[in-house]
Amino acid sequence: MRKRLMKMWREAKALHSDPVEAWASIIEDADKAKSFKQARGRGGFVRSSWQEVNELIAASNVYTIKNYGPDRVAGFSPIPAMSMVSYASGARYLSLLGG
């Protein structure tokens, strides 16, 4: 996980009991959002647990669906012939979301 985003996520989680509210506090603050987006491509990764990263991903998906609708969550899977399991799970996930 990128260090800037992880630091902001941990601080937001300490202030908000709901992970979606924590994500909203990051993404709706223009300076915070700009800070972690500008760090892309510069390295700076830190270790994190699967639980922490999955919680952030879930919160960002719920936030996007809540504010913009399920069709705004995009998915990508490699060519189906290359990985049927990957394609099927991704397609099923998006279908369950309503996208």
Comparing CA positions, the residue from 13, 19, 6 lying closest to residue 61 is: 19
How many whole angstroms separate alpha carbon 91 and alpha carbon 77? 8
Interval 50-54 mean pLDDT: 94
Name the pTM for this structure.
0.81
**Confidence band (pLDDT; 50, 70, 90) for 41?**
confident
Residue 45, both tokens: 């990764």
Class of residue 59 by CB neighbours under 10 A (exposed 0-12, middle 13-18, buried 19+): buried
| Higher pLDDT among residues 34 and 40, named by residue | 34
Q: Is the pLDDT of residue 69 over 70?
A: yes
Interval 17-44 mean pLDDT: 93
Comparing CA positions, the residue from 71, 72, 91 lying closest to residue 83 is: 91
What mean pLDDT, rounded, does the chain reach? 88
